[in-house]
Structures are given as structure tokens and as C-alpha cells.
Amino acid sequence: MTKPMTPPARTAARRRKPLSRDQVLRAAMLLADEGGLESVSMRKLGQVLRVEAMSLYKHVANKDDILDGIADLVMADFEVPSGDVDWKTAIRRSATSAHQVLLRHPWAGRLIESRPNGGPARLRYVDAVIGVLSAAGFTMPRVIRAIMVLDSYTYGFALQELAWSFDPDKAPEVAAALAQGLPAGDYPNLRAMAEMVSRTAGAASVDFEFGLDLILDGLQRLRDAAGD
């Protein structure tokens, strides 16, 4: 015979809100932010959400479903390019937004690119990029190439930043140590650059938009050139 709940237990049960898919995915995203993708498991999610792990299957099919879901949650924070401004401004804003989001979620870049099934946010974002570039006069083959180079730069730049072994703000100190450690007479160009960075404020500052503008200017020249 089931033991009746005490009044406080009945009150707690009534107050507990039903779990949702969004809650499960956001909890998984927080786990990934704190400990990487390897920290995301049904058991840990159950502990965080204070439910039995088996009850999570009412909201997600399996681990792959969770990975697809959190990849799309990250993509939902990318600024979707709009046709309300010129194409270069729209693409610059969306790429800059994507770069910032990827830095906030160090695990996300590899995950997004590895998922075979794009969620609604990813599909909406890519569709908008295609639309902006097409409306700007790019042929579809050039749209495809443009998306490839923009994604490669955006994801690759974030990946490189996240892999650095030092704080970019400490670049002068790191450069000074490098210059002092290089054998005299060897690597003269590297030594000259390191010495310059060590004594010039901001010489090695992280500048994502510098490369992005080079790409956008190159795409504009490609669009304006005759033929494919």
C-alpha cells in the first residue's frame, strides 16, 4: 500500500513545475560550458535537474538529440543577417556575433560543424546568409564559396583564440620572453617582430574584424568581376 504523502510533500509536488525540453537542453548547455561536452550525460543532467535520469527521455530521445539541441541553442544566439542594411554590414554583424558566441561556448564550434542535422536556428541562419548574398548579386556558386570562407574564418579564428596558452593582454611580456630566448643570430625576423610587440602597446591585439573585412572586400571584388 502506498504511503500517503505528508502535507509538505504534497505541497512540494504541486509546486514543482513540469520539466520541459528547453529546460533539459539549457541544463546540458550549462554543463558543457562548465566542463566540456564530456561532462554532458543523462546521469548528470538528472542530478542537476533533480529528476530520475529515465524521466529525461520524455523530452529528449538520446545523447545525440541533446547534442543537436544544444548546438542549435548556440546558433540561436548568432545574429541573423538582415536585408535591412547593405550586405557587407549585415554579414559583418552576423559573423562578429557568431565569433563572440563561439568564444562564450568553447565547445560549440566543433559540435556545430560536426552535427549532420541542422536545427531550426541553424537552418534559419544559413538561409538568411544565402538570401542576403543572393540579393547582393552573388551567383549561387559564389554564395557557396563565400559561406565556406566566412565559416572557416569565423570558426577557425575562435578555435585559435581558445587554444592560446596565454592571455592576449600579456602579449608584450610573452613577446619579450620569446625575444630573449631566441638564439642570437637565429630567426632574425621572428626576433624583430617579438621585440616590436614587446615595446609597442596593442601591436599584437586580437582583431577578428581585420581579417573579416579583408574577406568581405575580396568578396565584393569577386562579385564585381565579370563572369564566374
Query: Do residues 9 and 27 lie in contact, with contact meaning Cβ atoms separated by under 8 Å?
Result: no
Residue 48, all three cell numbers: 542537476
Each residue's pLDDT tens digit in the chain (228 positions)? 555 555 554 444 445 578 999 999 999 999 999 999 999 999 999 999 999 999 999 999 999 999 999 999 999 999 999 999 999 999 999 999 999 999 999 999 999 999 988 899 999 999 999 999 999 999 999 999 999 999 999 999 999 999 988 887 888 888 899 989 988 789 999 999 999 988 887 777 779 999 999 999 999 999 998 554
Domains in the chain, ordered, with CATH? 7-60 (1.10.10.60), 80-224 (1.10.357.10)
Phi, psi of 15 (to 5 degrees): -80, -20
Condensed to tens digits (0 to 9), the pLDDT of residues 48-103 reads: 999 999 999 999 999 999 999 999 999 999 999 999 999 999 999 999 999 999 99
Query: Do residues 206 and 197 lie in contact, with contact meaning Cβ atoms separated by under 8 Å?
Result: no
Q: How many CB atoms lie within 10 A of CB 154?
A: 24
Quote the pTM value: 0.85
User: What average pLDDT is seen over the chain?
Assistant: 90
